[in-house]
Structure 1
Amino acid sequence: MGETSKTSIWQSYRYPIMLLICIALGAILGMAMGKDAAALKPFGDIFINMMFTIVVPLVFVNISSAVANIVDLKRLGKILGVMLAVFIVTGIISASLMLAAVSIFPPAEGMQVELKAPEEINQLNTADQFVQAFTVSNFSDLLSRKNMLALIVFSILFGLSVSLAGEKGRKVADGLAVLSEVMIKMIKILMYYAPIGLGAYFANLVGVFGPDLLGSYARAMAVYYPVSFLYFFIAFTVYAYLAAGRTGPRIFWKNAVSPAVTSFATGSSVATIPVNLAATEKIGVPKDIREIVVPFGATAHMDGSCLSAILKISFIFGLFNMPFHGLDTYLTAIMIAVLSGVVMSGVPGGGFIGEMLIVTMYGFPPEALPIIAMLGTLVDPPATMVNASGDTVASMMVARIVDGKEWMKKKIMHSREEAV
């Protein structure tokens, strides 16, 4: 049994462990080589360039495919609408909590890494900038990763149009589904090179910029881990109370331990789906709600990712010695966090794409990507736990809004009737 458990943990965490080992080896190599480690930078650049090249077709195909294949039923539409609202609201709350934490404890304070800062930070602080962020004037501009939000809007509208075309659009929807599978395979191929690419990049970073960079990661983790566990225990208790009154928190925590432990151990929200479905059934969430919210939430409800997105944004500002304060900066950060945690998380490789969104939206150079990618890997276990457990309590909140405040009592009465 113990051997099986060890094997299971190794299989679940094999890739992140390999990634961390290669990055650690790269850091050691960088310290040993010093400035000469700059010779390894091209190996890292290859990986970054490949990831940036695939991001546009990946986002378009996967988002448009997901929207095109949604079944249009009245109750389903209501569940999806309420579910999305719950996902966004909880995402904003989690992002705001981390925003408060990094304002008090800046994760990259005092860092001395000489990277070229962007001349101007892109803020969504005017109507014109808002329009420019979400739309472009030429179709060809959609093919640039610099217009990521506009591409997402176009992808959603395209997928919706395919769905509205009915039977005539079925072939297009099927084609998009096949293309989506192809893109997943391509991401997997590229990720085989990630340990080498990121290892080489960190050898360069540590060799050129010194060990200051490594110390800042420990500081960032010291901020993230306590905040994520705080959100896990306090926010989820409040959400459960809002969903089912006084009995909500008790029933939630009685059944939420299994999904939490499973997600923390496997590092996968998707792997937690069967356990989460069993937990929500025991809680009393109606069948149609739990079977929509839990699987969908496994890829599109990421409160833990929203927490980490704010940490990454604050970290990258500190890295470039730029002030991270002001209403415009905070609102932009929350919007990007929710977008990367709710919208982009449903895309294969969404973690990297969310990080690319941070880099491109603010106009930081590509060198910033592997730095925050490493941070994402370090905070992944608690982030996944918050993500997956959030689906459990989100299904309760959706049930409360869709079926009314007596939803749990109705479920218990229905169960008793079936037993009789």
Structure 2
Amino acid sequence: MFAKYRSVSLIVRILIGLVAGALLAVLLPAASAIGLLGQLFVGALKGIAPVMVFFLIASAISGYQQGGRNHFGSVIVMYLSATLLSAFAAVGASWLMPVRLVLPQAAKVAGGAPQSLAKVLEDLLTNAVTNPLAAIVNANYLAILFWALMIGFALRLTSKQTRTVVAELSGALTQVAQLIIEFAPFGILGLIYTTIRETGFAGVAKYGQLVLLLVGTMAFVYLVVYPLMVWAMTRQNPYPLTLWTLRVSGIPAFFTRSSAVNIPINLKACEKLGLNKASYAVSIPLGGSANSGGAAITVSVMTLAACATLGIHVSFPLALILCVLTALAATGASGIAGGSLLIIPMACSLFGISNDIAMQVVGIGFIIGVIQDSVETAVNSASDLLFTATAEYHDAAKAGKPVDIAAAVAQADGRTARAGAAAAEKA
């Protein structure tokens, strides 16, 4: 039965769960036990994700082969560039379509000096060296990344048997995460049921203009800015790969609302594309923290909306500083649902906005989070896959071995279809 269940595409199963959850919320609004499915799903994902990310990175670094073609340079450049360009796009969109929020205490503005970039860097570095066990418990992905890299390099000095054990443990944790994701349709059914039964979309409708600005900017970045980056790196039509990554990675991430827990899906997608495992085994987990274009958009738009509400003039130099600050801070955003919203007070402080007002903006973020955070996560997670593939194709072209991107995507779809057929036949 389980094999037959898996023979249906995960995306199709997710859509079925989405529809079923909405129908049950209308037909059985008192059956609160249905919502427990969503709580169990989210809890399981949050529980396994920090441990899995730690061992994935440590294992990949410990097995790193010096001199091999691992594409790290190209991947990191794309991650950081995408985050910064996303912040620029958000500032431009906010200037073209300013949004004013409803803040009960909008008259209060702090008179302190703006927070410096040095302070931002200090906070990021301090956060990165948190106790590693506490980092895993609290899902502090920046610290997890730091300690996984350090321990991974240290493991390179150990015996081959020790590194093999770490690699096998990493593989086992990934299998556990993949098993949890197989039950995503049931978790999504519970999440949608709870959302519609308790809040509906009344809260989101109240901030419709803000939602449109955020979602519109994210769509523009993923469908225009990122494809231009892919074209610049490969000189090929970027849309077959762009749309494929959005379908394969973006849709599941939209519902899980966590880049970290979407890592197994991205790893499997890289395998289907035939990418170099030595590269994607590191770049995909790394992207859960280092690639945060969606988070940069959220922080920039929400901060400038607060400025517009309070009547604060934002000059070009300050907007430029906001972009840099947001890009740096977004890189350290937690890879869990709602992680980027906690950066907003820091960005607001650049304009002298009090913490009380900033936290009201954060509260609005949680109200619209059912859409904002889902789209943000889809952008972040799908672009991890997009840039990992692009970096490898770029380096292959430089080495005189160009890859036809459209053909690679078609082959990946073919592998998916054959795997589904095999599972159906087995069932």
1:30 has 2:19 as partner: no
Unpaired stretches in structure 2, ≥5 consecutive residues: 104-115, 250-264, 346-358, 403-427
1:149 has 2:142 as partner: yes
Identify the residue that residue 292 of structure 2 maps to in structure 1. 306
- Amino acid corresponding to residue 191 of structure 1 in structure 2: I
User: Distance between the aligned counterparts of 1:58 and 1:152, measured in 2?
Assistant: 11
User: Distance between the aligned counterparts of 1:13 and 1:304, measured in 2?
Assistant: 33
User: Distance between the aligned counterparts of 2:37 and 2:160, measured in 1?
Assistant: 42
Identify the residue that residue 208 of structure 1 maps to in structure 2. 198
1:41-85 CA-to-partner distances (Å, cap 9, x unmatched) read: 444322232222223321221111111110123x75xx6553354
1:15-35 CA-to-partner distances (Å, cap 9, x unmatched) read: 23322332343244435566x
Unpaired stretches in structure 1, ≥5 consecutive residues: 1-9, 113-122, 241-247, 278-289, 345-352, 412-420
Alignment equivalent of 2:74, drawn from 83, 107, 114: 83
Identify the residue that residue 124 of structure 2 maps to in structure 1. 130
- Change beyond 3 A, Cα 1:219–1:86: closer
What does 1:207-226 align with in structure 2 at a 5 Å threshold?
207-212=197-202, 220-226=214-220
Alignment equivalent of 2:179, drawn from 180, 189, 205: 189
**Does the 8 Å contact 1:67/1:156 carry over to 2?**
yes
- Change beyond 3 A, Cα 1:220–1:190: same
**Does the 8 Å contact 1:37/1:204 carry over to 2?**
no
1:18 has 2:13 as partner: yes
- Change beyond 3 A, Cα 1:92–1:355: same
Identify the residue that residue 165 of structure 2 maps to in structure 1. 175
Alpha-carbon offset, residue 177 of structure 1: 0.8
- Change beyond 3 A, Cα 1:178–1:106: farther
**Does the 8 Å contact 1:65/1:176 carry over to 2?**
yes
**Does the 8 Å contact 1:259/1:388 carry over to 2?**
no
Could you tell which deviates more after superposition, 225-234 or 307-316? 307-316
- Change beyond 3 A, Cα 1:380–1:159: closer
1:356-406 CA-to-partner distances (Å, cap 9, x unmatched) read: 6547777999xx999858767668888777555545654576689xx8xxx
Identify the residue that residue 334 of structure 1 maps to in structure 2. 327
| SS of corresponding position for 1:210 | coil
Alpha-carbon offset, residue 178 of structure 1: 0.5
User: Distance between the aligned counterparts of 2:84 and 2:322, measured in 1?
Assistant: 17
Identify the residue that residue 229 of structure 1 maps to in structure 2. 223
1:190-212 CA-to-partner distances (Å, cap 9, x unmatched) read: 22343323322332222222323
**Does the 8 Å contact 1:162/1:173 carry over to 2?**
yes
- Change beyond 3 A, Cα 1:103–1:200: same
User: Distance between the aligned counterparts of 2:82 and 2:7, measured in 1?
Assistant: 26
1:100 has 2:100 as partner: no
Alpha-carbon offset, residue 11 of structure 1: 8.6
User: Distance between the aligned counterparts of 1:394 and 1:257, measured in 2?
Assistant: 16
Identify the residue that residue 67 of structure 1 maps to in structure 2. 61
| SS of corresponding position for 2:292 | helix
Give % identity: 12
Could you tell which deviates more after superposition, 51-60 or 356-365? 356-365
**Does the 8 Å contact 1:33/1:207 carry over to 2?**
no
- Amino acid corresponding to residue 178 of structure 1 in structure 2: E
1:55 has 2:49 as partner: yes
| SS of corresponding position for 1:72 | coil
**Does the 8 Å contact 1:25/1:199 carry over to 2?**
yes
User: Distance between the aligned counterparts of 2:66 and 2:20, measured in 1?
Assistant: 51
- Amino acid corresponding to residue 83 of structure 1 in structure 2: S
User: Distance between the aligned counterparts of 1:16 and 1:204, measured in 2?
Assistant: 21
- Change beyond 3 A, Cα 1:152–1:291: closer
User: Distance between the aligned counterparts of 1:315 and 1:14, measured in 2?
Assistant: 35
1:245-275 CA-to-partner distances (Å, cap 9, x unmatched) read: xxx74xx34xx45544654565576546776
User: Distance between the aligned counterparts of 2:48 and 2:167, measured in 1?
Assistant: 17
- Change beyond 3 A, Cα 1:53–1:383: closer
User: Distance between the aligned counterparts of 2:163 and 2:309, measured in 1?
Assistant: 45
Identify the residue that residue 161 of structure 1 maps to in structure 2. 154
User: Distance between the aligned counterparts of 2:337 and 2:292, measured in 1?
Assistant: 11
Alpha-carbon offset, residue 142 of structure 1: 3.5
- Amino acid corresponding to residue 294 of structure 2 in structure 1: S
- Amino acid corresponding to residue 211 of structure 1 in structure 2: F
User: Distance between the aligned counterparts of 2:54 and 2:284, measured in 1?
Assistant: 20
- Change beyond 3 A, Cα 1:151–1:55: same
**Does the 8 Å contact 1:276/1:294 carry over to 2?**
no
User: Distance between the aligned counterparts of 1:157 and 1:174, measured in 2?
Assistant: 18
RMSD, matched Cα: 5.3
**Does the 8 Å contact 2:222/2:379 carry over to 1?**
yes
TM-score (norm 1): 0.59
**Does the 8 Å contact 1:317/1:323 carry over to 2?**
no
Identify the residue that residue 199 of structure 1 maps to in structure 2. 189
Alpha-carbon offset, residue 302 of structure 1: 8.6
| SS of corresponding position for 1:161 | helix
- Change beyond 3 A, Cα 1:80–1:175: same
User: Distance between the aligned counterparts of 2:285 and 2:291, measured in 1?
Assistant: 11
User: Distance between the aligned counterparts of 1:354 and 1:211, measured in 2?
Assistant: 22
